[in-house]
Structure 1
Amino acid sequence: MGDKREILGSLAAFHAEQAGGFVGYPQQYIKGATPEDSFIHGVDQAGQPFTLAVVPPDRHIQAAKESTDRIVPSVALLSDTRRTAQMPCIAMPDNSPITKTGGIFLAEQVTVVDKAKGLYRCNWLSVLQESNLVQPARVAVGYLESTFILSTSSPDIQAKKQRLIHMNAQWLAAVSNPVKPEQIEGLDILDYQAQRDGLSMDLFNEAYKKWFVAVDVQYRRLQTLPMDNEAQVRSTILELIDSNSVSGMYGGVILRPFRRNGDTQVVQMDSIRRINHEFDYKALAKNRWTLPGLTLSPRVVQAG
């Protein structure tokens, strides 16, 4: 594998071991009696044709049965266009990365059956876009940020917290006593422990919320900012942020100051800053926003 980066979501990237699957644009479904006899004809993110069989292994099927929100993908479900369809992904004869007249999916855990014939098999498949009537899917290089938020203002959570502190103290006193009591606060030891453990789990489930944010890193989009014109720098940064603040997305830039060492650019790692789109909620109707913490200094900066 060389240093060449293939098109993200393409079969070429998969063959170059730059990804474990590919993005597909279905053009036709062939429904057979079994998953092995059912196929998807379509093109990948680079417009190259393929034929794909979707054959989830038993372990994936069993895991889906034990979940309340996971559906086992199949050609039958993907081709279903009824109002009650569980996993539709519309196939159109001219569907492609350019036309986008149908659905889009991500084939995962892909193996090659016959490369010359463009025949592949995947263990799992996720629908990225059901049809061209919904918000377009975004295929990009990036990462996920996860954040835990602990809500301590709820009276219910505060009451449970105090109760747990009290129960922990009672439990510690009981287990530290050379003469082990048979009960704590009128409850058998095992019942008290079960109630204490249950309260701990309740606090965790109720108080914590987990948020996932997908970050699209446009690593090829670089802008050099000479620092002798502060107004121009601010204007350029605002334009970069604004260009990605659409359709529910919040734009941002990463500022990377660097110094020149001959023909080499050395990034000042301790000076890297990230600036994100932040709404001024008092002036929300005017959609105004600010650049928090931006201090310019006489050096060269790359933003992207």
Structure 2
Amino acid sequence: MQPGSSTPKGGFLLYPRAYHLDESDPARSFVDGVTRKGREIRVHLQPTEEMAAAVRDSSSKTLPDLARFAQSGRRAKNPCAASADNGPDAPCGILLIEQVFEIDRANNVWGGRWASVLRAGPEDAMPAIGIGYLEMNVFSRLNEEASVASEEMCRIRQAIDAGTHPAPIEGEERISALRAQVLGAQTKRFTGVILRPHESLYLPVVTPEALAGALRGPLEHYTRRGMYGGALIRVRRDLVVDSKLSTQIDMQYHAAERRVKSFDEVFADFLRYQAKGLLAAARRDANVVVEIIPMLRINCAKHGNERYGNELARSATATPKIVKTFVDREHQQSILTELRRTKGYLASQVAIRVAEIYDGESAGNLILSSIHAFSPAIGNPYEIDPTGRAAYTLDTRKPPAGHTQNAA
């Protein structure tokens, strides 16, 4: 079976209804199901030989396999349960089909180079779906060896930028190696972010009271079961977003008292440290527009932080996938900076697989298991309008190049 003329791109969610396995020729196996819009569809998995080779060389990856997805019982290694009525209204297992291409559009037959399980079955937490990104927080405290490496990296970068380095290519290679060394020594924390642009709020009057009234609802609503509410606060003039005045507020955990801070506590800190500039700008400039973009934040636990942290630390010779996917090109070589402050993220259509903690004092909380982007980058999070398009331009970025629709 050969794919159609389309180039593999994008992805879609599939709710499996029936697996059809051909043991003599696994390439002929397929799964029937429906998409998020309820469209009935048939999917074949066709990983490339390059993908298969990469999996063979990896100790942590396995090739997606419909036969494994179809397994059930305690010995199932990577199941995704099918049911006759599986769909958005009665969800069971959920797959993310990636790098999609058409095989027979007239009969709704599609192929995918890759597939990931977002939900194994009805007993698991629902995935979080929407426009989002992976927030990467790299804490700056370094040991002596890493501090020396960081200083050397800065010296080489300055020399290359000034045109005084005797061997720029070798200098870039040395920067990559030093960067990996520094990242490996730093503490890293990762958070999946799902934006809710359709819930955006425009503030006709910008005062502390108006900000509190607009922010309280989404921040408290999305703070539950170990997940946290937050919001981007976009400050713009016409279609241009002011990167210095735009900011972010999140609900937070009070580590010393082992509790989630109240909205009033978080907002008081926000007024004290972040809101002064935007409040002053709104008072003196009638052209300033202030908007609230709510968000849901899902933290990684130890395993997830180690997984994504190791991916960053192994970046001596190549840019990590999570950086290519979620960080603007202009910021990819400065991952050591605070990307929240520099506003260096890119948002895509993402699916977050969520896991539940079953024991200890955090029992019942939900954490990020994995995050998958299944569309090209839409734009910087601050550029996205209520329809989900990058309708605005951050004043530090080039205008967005456009958007690509998902295949199904």
Same topology, TM > 0.5: yes
Q: Which runs of 5+ in 1 are unaligned?
A: 1-15, 166-199
Deviations 1:209-236 (A, max 9, x none): 5443322122222112233653243132
Is the 8 Å Cα contact of residues 113 and 119 (structure 1) preserved in structure 2?
Answer: yes
Is the 8 Å Cα contact of residues 251 and 261 (structure 2) preserved in structure 1?
Answer: no
Write the letter of the residue equivalent to 2:275.
L
Write the letter of the residue equivalent to 1:294.
A
1:301 match? 290
Match for residue 125 of structure 1 among 108, 115, 126: 115
Task: Single out whichever of 129-138 and 226-235 deviates more from structure 2.
Answer: 226-235
1:180-219 paired onto structure 2 within 5 Å:
207-219=185-197
Cα distance in 1 between the residues matched to 2:236 and 2:180: 49
**C-alpha displacement of 1:43:** 0.4
Write the letter of the residue equivalent to 1:272.
S
Write the letter of the residue equivalent to 1:238.
R
1:243 match? 221
1:280 match? 254
2:325 match? none
Q: Secondary structure at the residue paired with 1:234?
A: helix
1:234-273 paired onto structure 2 within 5 Å:
234-258=212-236, 267-273=241-247
Is the 8 Å Cα contact of residues 219 and 231 (structure 2) preserved in structure 1?
Answer: yes
1:175 match? none
Q: Which runs of 5+ in 2 are unaligned?
A: 1-5, 150-177, 294-408
1:108 match? 98
2:14 match? 24
1:5 match? none
Task: Single out whichever of 234-243 and 220-229 deviates more from structure 2.
Answer: 220-229
Deviations 1:241-268 (A, max 9, x none): 1222223322211222345xxxx67654
2:58 match? 67
Deviations 1:67-108 (A, max 9, x none): 1111111111000112122211011111111211x1111111
Q: Which has the larger radius of gyration?
A: 1
Is the 8 Å Cα contact of residues 19 and 31 (structure 2) preserved in structure 1?
Answer: yes
Is the 8 Å Cα contact of residues 214 and 292 (structure 2) preserved in structure 1?
Answer: no
1:221 match? 199
Deviations 1:116-160 (A, max 9, x none): 11111111111111112111101111122333345546xxxx5xx
Cα distance in 2 between the residues matched to 1:124 and 1:228: 47
Quote the RMSD (CA, aligned, Å): 3.2
2:208 match? 230
Match for residue 27 of structure 2 among 30, 36, 39: 36
Cα distance in 1 between the residues matched to 2:112 and 2:28: 13
Write the letter of the residue equivalent to 1:275.
I
Is the 8 Å Cα contact of residues 279 and 290 (structure 1) preserved in structure 2?
Answer: no
Match for residue 52 of structure 1 among 43, 46, 51: 43
Match for residue 71 of structure 2 among 80, 99, 117: 80
Deviations 1:250-301 (A, max 9, x none): 2211222345xxxx67654542121122233445447424122333343652
Number of residue pairs matched by the alignment: 244
Is the 8 Å Cα contact of residues 253 and 260 (structure 2) preserved in structure 1?
Answer: no
Is the 8 Å Cα contact of residues 280 and 290 (structure 1) preserved in structure 2?
Answer: no
Cα distance in 2 between the residues matched to 1:111 and 1:141: 22
Taking structure 1 as reference, are residues 244 and 44 closer, same or farther at Cα in structure 2, changes over 3 Å only? Answer: same
Cα distance in 2 between the residues matched to 1:278 and 1:287: 6
Taking structure 1 as reference, are residues 255 and 248 closer, same or farther at Cα in structure 2, changes over 3 Å only? Answer: same
Cα distance in 2 between the residues matched to 1:116 and 1:277: 48
Write the letter of the residue equivalent to 2:245.
S
Q: Secondary structure at the residue paired with 2:82?
A: coil
Cα distance in 1 between the residues matched to 2:210 and 2:94: 40
Is the 8 Å Cα contact of residues 206 and 290 (structure 2) preserved in structure 1?
Answer: no
Deviations 1:40-72 (A, max 9, x none): 010011110111111222221121111111111
Q: Secondary structure at the residue paired with 1:140?
A: strand
